[in-house]
Amino acid sequence: MTNKITFLCFTFFALSVSAKQNVVFILADDMSRDTWGAYGGKDCKTPNIDQLAMDGTRFDRAYCTVAMCAPFRQELYSGRSPWRTGTLPNHSKSVSRTKSIVHYLKPLGYRVALLGKSHVGPNECYPFEHLGDVSKRVDANPETMDKAKAFLDDCKKKENPFCLFIGSHDSHAPFTTGDPSAYDAKKIKVPTYWIDTPELREVMIQYYAEITNFDRLVGMMRKELEKRNLWENTIFMVCSEQGTQLPFAKWTCYDNGLHTGLVAHWPSRAKPGSVIKELISTADITPSLVNELGGTLQKGTVDGKSFLNLLAGKNESIHQYVYGAFTNCRIIDNRERIYPIRSIRNKRYSLIYNPNHQSLTSNVTLTQALKMIEDTEIKPKDLNPTGSWVAKVDKSKFEKKLVAKLHNREEFELYDLQKDPFEMVNLTGDSKYLKIQKKLKDALLAKLKALGDSDPMSTEKRFVSTDPKRGKKN
């Protein structure tokens, strides 16, 4: 009798609270998409994410504009480009009067909540119902689930549909969660775009442990929704954010940085196991959710476009290109280094523009390597992954190029993503690719002019001059 009553209660919850579709969006932190089995990862264990991709939809060409936490999240929640919100630098806040998904869904009766990592602001632009941050020092999954379940219970009590964003800290350094002993540093395969050293392998298994811990959160949240009979009426999305802070991902415009992992359960619209191969921007997520949940956005409100037709299986392109940007301003250890990067991609090629290519680029994870190149002595026991690359004896010709690439870039870099998905071979000097290079360059420069960023060097100098932490110790 008790079980029957419980079942009826859950059914009532599903019918009343979920008369409208709900949303749960789980966001990782500095996690490269190629670690997921759904995207071909072999060593890292991500069974729940992989199952979600098999049961739902996998986006193969989803891109963010800036591979840093604050710009990524503000693009996600606002549906606007970082140029428009003024969030090209990390640790930035959106300009006043920026609207976000909270403003669009609350009038529809939704409770729009954020649990875990925030990294957005000001509150007037992102007025989430804040459920609190969670620990980075220890496994936060139990704490996250307790807060998520309390939110669901309250929505049940008040009969509110909900849109819940969960920001995990997993895969952002320092790596403190998960079980590294589940991986053998000697047996994992080092990607071809990195140099194989013992120091890198040790960090990789710590990184993989956090990815697997994040994957567990995905499984736990799915089970909770299924248990409450909410699964078939909840849009459930999982995103990797930008790429890892290990080399050539975060803090760059390389594909490993801007190319984000995105899988979704989208009830009654997408077929199980479907794959979307069209270009998608992070800014497209908010307008797609708002449109699906019954909202209407006025023209010009957002920069993103709805991808609902793609979910329904229609073969159409919503973007000819996606664009990328990076600024060194406000990055620890290199706060005043002027090194802007801009990029453009279509479905096959990427073009990266480094206006200050004659100078050096760097970020906190590359600092030790740069000091070693500049003849600073580092004790072997203190080597981090990129420092170990510099210290490696008898480097191959290819490995020497990778070390040089850490801090030195050419003015333009052109890559064929079909033949060279990890962007190892720069084609700018190849006469066979002059036509596509000119086409992409012209399109990129025209876009930057339209955005008021035709001179990225001047743009970054303005960011440096307005850095609130300028002159302070990091």
Distance of alpha carbon 176 from the chain centroid = 20
What confidence score (pLDDT) does residue 468 get?
67
Q: How far from each other are the two terminal CA atoms of the chain, in whole angstroms?
A: 61
Is a pLDDT exceeding 90 seen at residue 365?
A: yes
pLDDT digits (tens, 9 = 90+) for 211-247: 999 999 999 999 999 999 999 999 999 999 999 999 9
| Helix 2-17 vs helix 141-158: crossing angle, to nearest 10 | 80
Residue 322 makes CB contacts below 8 A (sequence gap 6+) with 63, 65, 258, 279, 280, 281, 344, 345
- Grade residue 469 by pLDDT with cuts at 50, 70 and 90: low
- Grade residue 474 by pLDDT with cuts at 50, 70 and 90: very low
One domain, residues 385 and 443:
yes
What confidence score (pLDDT) does residue 19 get?
67
Alpha-carbon torsion (298, 347, 278, 190), positive or negative:
negative
pLDDT digits (tens, 9 = 90+) for 426-435: 999 899 999 9
What confidence score (pLDDT) does residue 377 get?
83
What confidence score (pLDDT) does residue 378 get?
84
Q: Which of 286, 319, 352 is the last residue of a domain?
A: 319
One domain, residues 187 and 329:
no
Structure tokens at 91: 């640790």
Q: Is residue 191 part of a domain?
A: yes
Structure tokens at 189: 């395969």
Q: What whole-number distance in Å separates Cα of residue 405 and Cα of residue 460?
A: 22
What confidence score (pLDDT) does residue 376 get?
81
Is a pLDDT exceeding 80 seen at residue 340?
A: yes
Q: What whole-number distance in Å separates Cα of residue 183 and Cα of residue 175?
A: 14
Q: What's the total number of domains in the chain?
A: 2
> Is there a contact between 343 and 323 (Cβ–Cβ < 8 Å)?
yes
Domain holding 132: CATH number?
Answer: 3.40.720.10
For residue 29, give the nearest of 302, 273, 214 by alpha carbon: 214
Q: Which of 252, 286, 319 is the last residue of a domain?
A: 319
What confidence score (pLDDT) does residue 369 get?
95
Distance of alpha carbon 97 from the chain centroid = 24
Determine phi and psi for 279, rounding to 5 degrees. Answer: -70, 130
What confidence score (pLDDT) does residue 384 get?
96
One domain, residues 268 and 355:
no
One domain, residues 299 and 375:
no
Q: Is residue 444 part of a domain?
A: yes
One domain, residues 346 and 455:
yes
One domain, residues 367 and 448:
yes
What confidence score (pLDDT) does residue 16 get?
42
Q: What whole-number distance in Å separates Cα of residue 260 and Cα of residue 48?
A: 17
Where do we find the tokens 């009038």? 107
What confidence score (pLDDT) does residue 470 get?
62
What confidence score (pLDDT) does residue 333 get?
80
pLDDT digits (tens, 9 = 90+) for 99-126: 999 999 999 999 999 999 999 999 999 9
> Is there a contact between 61 and 284 (Cβ–Cβ < 8 Å)?
no
Q: Which of 296, 319, 342 is the last residue of a domain?
A: 319
One domain, residues 196 and 340:
no
One domain, residues 345 and 218:
no
Query: Strand pairing of 341-345 and 322-326?
Result: antiparallel
Query: Any alpha helices (H) in 161-250, and if so which ranges?
Result: 198-227
Task: Return the number of other C-beta atoms located less than 10 Å from residue 122's C-beta.
Answer: 12
Lowest mean pLDDT among 19-33, 307-321, 375-389: 375-389
One domain, residues 367 and 439:
yes
Determine phi and psi for 265, rounding to 5 degrees. Answer: -105, 110
Helix (H, G, I), strand (E, B) or coil at 353: strand
Q: Is residue 472 part of a domain?
A: no
Counts for the chain of helices (H) and strands (E), in that order:
15, 12
Is a pLDDT exceeding 80 seen at residue 465?
A: no
What confidence score (pLDDT) does residue 335 get?
77
What confidence score (pLDDT) does residue 464 get?
84
Instruction: Taking residues 287-295, report their average pLDDT.
Output: 97
What confidence score (pLDDT) does residue 330 get?
84
Instruction: Taking residues 10-29, report their average pLDDT.
Output: 70
Instruction: Taking residues 69-73, report their average pLDDT.
Output: 97
Structure tokens at 278: 């069209």
What is the Rg, in whole angstroms, of the alpha carbon atoms belonging to the chain? 22
Query: What does the mean pLDDT of the chain come to?
Result: 93
Structure tokens at 74: 């503000």
| Domain enclosing residue 133, as ranges | 2-319
Task: Return the number of other C-beta atoms located less than 10 Å from residue 385's C-beta.
Answer: 23
Q: Is residue 171 part of a domain?
A: yes
One domain, residues 134 and 222:
yes
> Is there a contact between 23 and 242 (Cβ–Cβ < 8 Å)?
no
What confidence score (pLDDT) does residue 341 get?
98
Q: What percent of the chain has pLDDT over 90?
A: 87
pLDDT digits (tens, 9 = 90+) for 152-176: 999 989 999 999 999 999 999 999 9
- Grade residue 329 by pLDDT with cuts at 50, 70 and 90: confident
Exposure string (b/e) for 281-299, b if CB count within 10 Å is 16 or more? bbbbbbbbbbbbbebebee
One domain, residues 195 and 302:
yes
